[in-house]
A and B are shown apart, each in its own frame.
Chain A
Amino acid sequence: MSTTASKRIESRILPAPGCASPTVALKVAEIADVHAQLRAAIRGLPPAAFAWQPAPRTNTIGMLVAHVALAEVNLAQVVLLAEPRGHTPDVLGLTTDDDGMPIEKYGSTPPAVLAGKDEAFFQSLIEKTEAHTFAACRTLREEQLGDEIARPPRPDGSYRVFDRRWALHHMVEHMAQHLGQLHVLKRQWKAAQPAG
């Protein structure tokens, strides 16, 4: 949370209210802060900016926003809520394939489902994700954070085991990584626009 009054900037990170666990309350505050940074980073961008590729085989800003929303909702469902499988369409109206990532797997072009989408669409993805994550976090208790959540086996027989602490950590670092990339893409997109 940052507030600015004239030339003074105040930055704090305070545990979010309404959480059963103090650890989760702090993580929710971090997630909210990165969401706020993400919302600010895409504010004012036209639809063309969300679909712009700096080079072939590179992700677009729209793909990155869809990806972080899908990843967070899916992780909340299968780890925080320990549901047997993710069901992102119920929250976002998108499947986990709709971000078109990794791009090499989908023909190296942005996904058609994101074509022409505007800022309001991407802002709403972040808002829906945040509401879903916070609802999943609210009732988590401290003693549940180290529980082992085993996912169904993959075709090769291997399977993943998570704990909720890792999921909350991953939500923050994963989103922050892609936010960093989004800033670079945004700068490149701005530089590529005709002067005037």
Chain B
Amino acid sequence: MAGRIETLAFKAAAGRSAAAMTWLAHLDDQTKLLAKDLEDITPAELQWQPKRGMNTIGMLLAHLAIVEVFWLHVAEGHATEANMRKSLGVGTDDDGMPLPPAGTPPRGLSGLPFKYYLNLIQRGRRQTRRILKGYRDVDLARSITRTRRNGQRQRVSLSWILYHLAEHFSGHYGQILLIRHLYRDRNGKA
């Protein structure tokens, strides 16, 4: 009998810009793996804090959705709180991040199941997909200047925004896996 083959290939969907579609494929790949990794997670684990001041898995999941929508709004030139609520149904600060040193998770996320967070990410992703399909390579070189909350002026290119969304998603995904490990360790689950 022939051996089982595990194929690991990476292919972006068709679009006007191959680079933009590759970043979208990065996000989709990570979301699919994340959903599989968290398919059995409970609301208790989602809101578990390793210690005061540390993020919960639920906060990180909400943050992923919010940040993706936020940066695409920046790219499209309409990053306002009203547009965030219209796009995602939550506010920019509803992830509760950054937490103060002894902070606790936001009440608004209390008791929510994984399905809620996955829906939130997928709702944002539908908008990301629609926008990215329209980008051409020449659009990716376009720069946007914005002012951060601390007054710092920031100039970012569209390509940096898309790359940042990809590596930002992966970075927090890694943290989610670490918190799962800590949770299982504290609760005696191997």
B26 lies within 8 A of A173 (CB): yes
Question: Using a Cβ–Cβ cut-off of 8 Å, how many residues does chain B contribute to the interface with A?
Answer: 44
Q: Are A161 and B8 in contact (CB under 8 A)?
A: yes
Within 8 A of B (CB), among A9-40: 9-14, 23, 26, 30, 33-34
Chain B residues near A169: list those with CB within 8 A. 10, 22, 25-26, 29
Contacting residues, chain B, for A13 (C-beta < 8 A): 157, 159-160, 163
**Residues of B with C-beta under 8 A to A165:** 9-11
Is the beta-carbon distance between A11 and B3 smaller than 8 angstroms? no
Chain B interface mostly: helix
Q: Is A162 located at the chain interface by the 8 A CB criterion? A: yes
Interchain CB contact under 8 A, A161 and B6? yes
Interface members, chain A 136-157 (any B CB < 8 Å): 146, 148, 153-154, 156-157
- The DSSP consensus for interface residues of chain A is mixed
10 pairs of A and B residues whose beta carbons are closest in the complex: A177-B174, A180-B171, A157-B3, A176-B170, A180-B174, A166-B10, A158-B4, A165-B10, A173-B170, A13-B163
Sampled A-B contacts (27; CB under 8 Å): A7-B151, A7-B152, A7-B153, A8-B154, A8-B155, A9-B152, A9-B155, A12-B160, A13-B157, A33-B167, A58-B181, A156-B3, A157-B4, A158-B4, A158-B5, A159-B4, A161-B6, A161-B9, A162-B8, A163-B10, A172-B170, A173-B166, A180-B172, A180-B178, A183-B171, A183-B175, A184-B178
